[in-house]
Structure 1
Amino acid sequence: MQQQNRDLQWYAKELGLTHLASQMADVMKIADHQGWSLEQTIQTLLEGEYERRLAGRQKARIKTAGFSQIKYLEQLDRNELPEGIKHLLPRLETLDFIHEHRNIVLYGNPGTGKTHVATALAIKACMEGMHVLFTSVPHLITQIKECKSAKTLHQLEGRFKKYDLVVCDEFGYVSCDKEAGELLFNHLSLRADTKSTIITTNLAFDRWGEIIKDKVLVTALVDRLTHNAFLVNMNGVSYRLKETKIFNEQNR
């Protein structure tokens, strides 16, 4: 039995199943003790290998997405969420909006959970095998400009329109000149009605003209992003403000 066990481990290692090989001795002992069939023993070994590889792929997709922070849906205090998202979140977390190629625009004052919700939905998408990109709008504009100058914009566009989900965070914190506004519009238009994008912004739509001065372009951008989209009012009391008040009260 020991010789057979060593032979199985050798074959597993040679086939690149190093983790399975390391687990084989323990699984074989349990199988012998529990009286498992050969099929059940093999299935247990393969399930362990599958789960390990699945976790590795999930971790890789999360890392590649470029999240600024790791936030999960389970970490949300749903009772503290603004009313606009509180009742809609159960529908959004099914991720059907991605399969339906619908956008989400989370708008409202700072500190109300917009980035947390967007990040958590995107991480769940990663966990379910989807390819995701997380970027801030200022960073995206800079990247587009750099690629345009380097004549690699076509390659960037090719990657951008293939993501199952893109999160564009922090629209409204930095003004765009005319060129930046046009580049952003053209870039986001690549995904219109074919893929899903989540936008977080501290500005209501009637204030987007403060960021992009071209009224025609603003109208076109709003129309393109909001078509068949979930528009979620995230106005509310800032989480950070609440935490600061609690901290100050505890330390008086």
Structure 2
Amino acid sequence: MKKSAMSDTIYQYCREIRLPTIRECFQAQIQDATTRDLSYGAFLAELLQKEWDARQQTAQANRIRRAKFPYKKYLEDLSVRDLPEDAQRKYKQLKTLQFIEEGRNLILAGNPGTGKTHTAIGLGIKACEKGYTVWFTTVPLLINHMKECRSERTLRAFETRFKKYDLVIVDEMGYISFDKEGAELLFTHLSLRAGQKSTIITTNLSFERWGEIFQDPVMTAAMIDRLTYQAYLINMNGNSYRMKETKAWLAQQQLTDSSSATDLDSSQASETQ
């Protein structure tokens, strides 16, 4: 078989059995293997490794996309020393994602701007990279979605999906209160995961103030009991992490503006001379 015909045959087989990476790179790999005098086995192993790596990257990207993060925030972007003290102490442990493996909850509670959502998203993205299934939502969006599912009689299907995620991130607990129906739906669905799968909750309210949003003392007590049982509790009270970032950005802008003004003055002086 001529070389060109052989290449066409390999190309078509790769299309049929869905090996897109090998389809695109096999000719370059053949040339490289010839140059390096690789054995047939080594050549095949490297070729299959490329296909495997590409599929892993695609799967990882799909998990991150399906998680519905509002934006991408990575743990590596966090300034750990600017986090509240409790978060600093427990940061290394959280990074291991052991709490997901154990099916335990993580509750990040503290005043606004201290890095709760950034930490939650960062952990969520890392979980996606490690092969876990993740879903991000806010409390208002979750309640609205559950109400819509109930009205459309698709709530059971949603419950099944909700229970299966390795990690669900529920952001902004406490920013908005909700009615009795919303409270009951939230309680029911978060309870489905208790002791089975991990849930990250971010909240700006201490537990004794959760009654303000649930408006039912019995349900509030039951919710706190189920969510906090064997959970990782992180005290996120501290100086605003977001404000520090804003101040740093403003300082950088001032330096940039000052540098631009200096360059402009120098340019004008040169033209005058």
Q: TM-score, normalised by structure 1?
A: 0.95
Q: What is aligned with 2:172?
A: 170
Match of 2:144 among 142, 145, 152: 142
Aligned-partner residue type, residue 209 of structure 1: G
State the shift of 1:233 in Å.
0.3
State the alpha-carbon separation in 1 of the partners of residues 150 and 110 from structure 2. Answer: 32
State the alpha-carbon separation in 1 of the partners of residues 178 and 41 from structure 2. Answer: 62
Q: What is aligned with 1:127?
A: 129
State the alpha-carbon separation in 2 of the partners of residues 31 and 208 from structure 1. Answer: 64
Match of 1:29 among 28, 31, 34: 31
Q: What secondary structure is seen at the aligned counterpart in 1 of 2:175?
A: coil
For residues 33-112 of structure 1, the aligned pairs below 5 Å read: 33-112=35-114
State the alpha-carbon separation in 1 of the partners of residues 120 and 72 from structure 2. Answer: 11
State the alpha-carbon separation in 2 of the partners of residues 182 and 11 from structure 1. Answer: 55
Match of 2:245 among 226, 243, 246: 243
Q: What secondary structure is seen at the aligned counterpart in 1 of 2:230?
A: coil
State the shift of 1:21 in Å.
1.5
State the shift of 1:249 in Å.
5.0
Q: What is aligned with 2:213?
A: 211
Distance of aligned partners of 1:136 and 1:150 in 2 relative to their CA distance in 1, 3 Å threshold: same
Could you report, residue by residue, the CA deviation over 1:49-71 in whole angstroms, capped at 9, with x for unpaired residues?
A: 11111111111111111111111
Could you report, residue by residue, the CA deviation over 1:205-234 in whole angstroms, capped at 9, with x for unpaired residues?
A: 111112111111111110010000001001
Q: What is aligned with 2:231?
A: 229
Q: What secondary structure is seen at the aligned counterpart in 1 of 2:222?
A: helix
Q: What is aligned with 1:115?
A: 117
State the alpha-carbon separation in 1 of the partners of residues 107 and 246 from structure 2. Answer: 27
Could you report, residue by residue, the CA deviation over 1:81-128 in whole angstroms, capped at 9, with x for unpaired residues?
A: 111111212111111111111000000011111111111111111111
Distance of aligned partners of 1:246 and 1:5 in 2 relative to their CA distance in 1, 3 Å threshold: closer
Q: What is aligned with 2:22?
A: 20
Aligned-partner residue type, residue 59 of structure 1: A
State the alpha-carbon separation in 2 of the partners of residues 151 and 10 from structure 1. Answer: 46
Q: Does residue 200 in structure 1 map to residue 202 in structure 2?
A: yes
Report the structure, 1 or 2, having the larger helix content. Answer: 2
Which has the higher mean CA deviation after the structures are superposed, 235-244 or 95-104? 235-244
State the alpha-carbon separation in 2 of the partners of residues 244 and 121 from structure 1. Answer: 23
Q: What secondary structure is seen at the aligned counterpart in 2 of 1:106?
A: strand
State the alpha-carbon separation in 1 of the partners of residues 45 and 226 from structure 2. Answer: 49
Structure 2: state its 5+ residue gaps.
259-273
Q: What secondary structure is seen at the aligned counterpart in 1 of 2:195?
A: coil
- Which structure's CA Rg is the greater one? 2
Aligned-partner residue type, residue 145 of structure 2: Q
Q: What secondary structure is seen at the aligned counterpart in 2 of 1:190?
A: helix
Q: What is aligned with 2:270?
A: none
Q: Does residue 2 in structure 1 map to residue 7 in structure 2?
A: no
Aligned-partner residue type, residue 21 of structure 1: R
Distance of aligned partners of 1:246 and 1:33 in 2 relative to their CA distance in 1, 3 Å threshold: closer
Q: TM-score, normalised by structure 2?
A: 0.88
- Work out the percentage of aligned pairs sharing the same amino acid: 49
Q: What secondary structure is seen at the aligned counterpart in 2 of 1:88?
A: helix
